[in-house]
Amino acid sequence: MKRLCVGLIGYGTVGQGVVKILKSSRAVFRKKYGCDFHVKTIVDRIIHKKPTAELNARYSKRPADVLGDPDIDIVVELIGGKQPAKSIVESALASGKDVVTANKDLIANHGIELFALANRTGRHLYYESAVGAGIPIIKTISEGIAGNGFDAVYGIVNGTCNFILDEMTTKQCSFADALKDAQRKGYAESDPTLDVNGVDSAHKIAILANLAFGKLVRVRDVHTEGITHISATDIAFAEQMDLRIKLLAIAKKDGRSLDVRVHPTLISTRHSLASIHGIFNAVYLKADKLGNAMLSGEGAGQMSAASGVVSDLINCANAPAGPINANNPEQVKGLTLRGIDNIECKFYIRVQAKDEPGTLAQITTILGRAGIGINSVQQAVHEVAAFVPVILLTDYTTERTLRRALNAIQALSNIKGKPVAIRMETLW
């Protein structure tokens, strides 16, 4: 029986979930995995809820009580953010301890240095819950389908945004109302900025891209757009065309170039990602040997995140000694990142156009001159109004070309307001 001493730094919702699992499943872990976890020290600024006496842990406000304790084998970092989390993880690895973290910001921004340190010290650094909480996406990419190369990774990796878009679709309500509902139900943070502006998804796709493609992707390299500008009008028009808007985090390889981006994306309502509802997350992988595969589940919440952390603890217990870490991304040479201007996409465009002969011809002329093919055009015929919505679906074009054409369309005297453009992806 391997007895492993754990130091828990950060005792909020997820930390308490970890303790619950370690207590309730102790006998199972001993029998099934041959390991017995002893939580020796719990560190937090305030201990909100003392674990019961059975756990026999001591409490402290000082990370040094974990980091300087030679008995502790594994440090679980659950405080989040860059600092002091980074120093804590560095100090743990440097002093010969394995580390489990759920910190997406830390892994996305400093993973490369931390993995290098883990390799130098021969320790393990696990981070399953940094993406999709307990959904085993990190283990799937690094171990479950080891030996595969990837053409693309598409993720719905922010439950708050997925809930909001889902509410806007099913209840036909505004972004603001759906956000209030998410906050009432406790899904969104009280300050949900990082969720709705796409940054949380950017952290997660940077981690997945690094792992799947062996390319160092910094968060600043990820073109990031959130969902705050999405209107119920566009959701309704899209649904009429069997298209659904999802906030997708995308990493896609084309030859030797990789594009990594987060933005609202129209996908077919028949694709499996379109049926990911509410706060669920999903990652759809295009792997070169397995083929297409999708993992989905609860990507946030106490027990889901705690499940990922505990599975990492079991991995630490059973991992071979030495600097072999399947989840430490290898850096592949020769793969370059492609900027958003040069990415080719199909687009959904909506303009408010004056309902008079010739307007459509002017719009299509501008698109035609820009070399942008049109796959379909629709006008909301039931409206009796001076300006009516016209929806165009384009063929593939670059962002740069589309922007120029949209500026020219906006400048037409019979167009009102700024045209709406939403990227489309064909995922099959």
Interface with ligand HSE (CB under 6 A): 158-160, 195, 200, 299-300
Contact present, 104 and 207 (Cβ < 8 Å): yes
Question: Measured from the CB of residue 118, what is the shortest distance to ligand HSE in angstroms?
Answer: 22
Question: Measured from the CB of residue 279, what is the shortest distance to ligand HSE in angstroms?
Answer: 7
Contact present, 200 and 132 (Cβ < 8 Å): no
The residues, any chain, with a CB within 8 Å of residue 144's CB and separated by 6 or more, are 136
β-strand pairing of 344-354 with 387-394: antiparallel
Contact present, 386 and 227 (Cβ < 8 Å): no
Q: Give residue for tokens 């991304």.
A: 329
Contact present, 9 and 92 (Cβ < 8 Å): no
Contact present, 18 and 308 (Cβ < 8 Å): no
Nearer to ligand HSE, 98 or 195 (CB): 195
Catalytic residue flag (residue 204): yes
Question: Measured from the CB of residue 195, what is the shortest distance to ligand HSE in angstroms?
Answer: 5
* Exposure string for 121-132, b = 16+ CB within 10 A, e = fewer: bebbbbbbbbbb
Tell the burial category of 194 from Cβ atoms under 10 Å away from its Cβ (0-12, 13-18, 19+): middle
Question: Measured from the CB of residue 161, what is the shortest distance to ligand HSE in angstroms?
Answer: 7
Nearer to ligand HSE, 161 or 409 (CB): 161
Radius of gyration of the chain (CA): 24
372 φ, ψ (degrees, to nearest 5): -100, 115
Element (H, E) at 25: none
Nearer to ligand HSE, 85 or 258 (CB): 85
The encoded tokens of residue 406 equal 């949209």
Which residue among 204, 215, 253, 286 is the active-site one? 204
Nearer to ligand HSE, 247 or 345 (CB): 247
Angstrom distance (rounded) from CA 203 to CA 188 = 17
Nearer to ligand HSE, 159 or 264 (CB): 159
Nearer to ligand HSE, 128 or 200 (CB): 200
Question: Measured from the CB of residue 159, what is the shortest distance to ligand HSE in angstroms?
Answer: 4
Question: Measured from the CB of residue 166, what is the shortest distance to ligand HSE in angstroms?
Answer: 13
Active site positions, annotated = 204
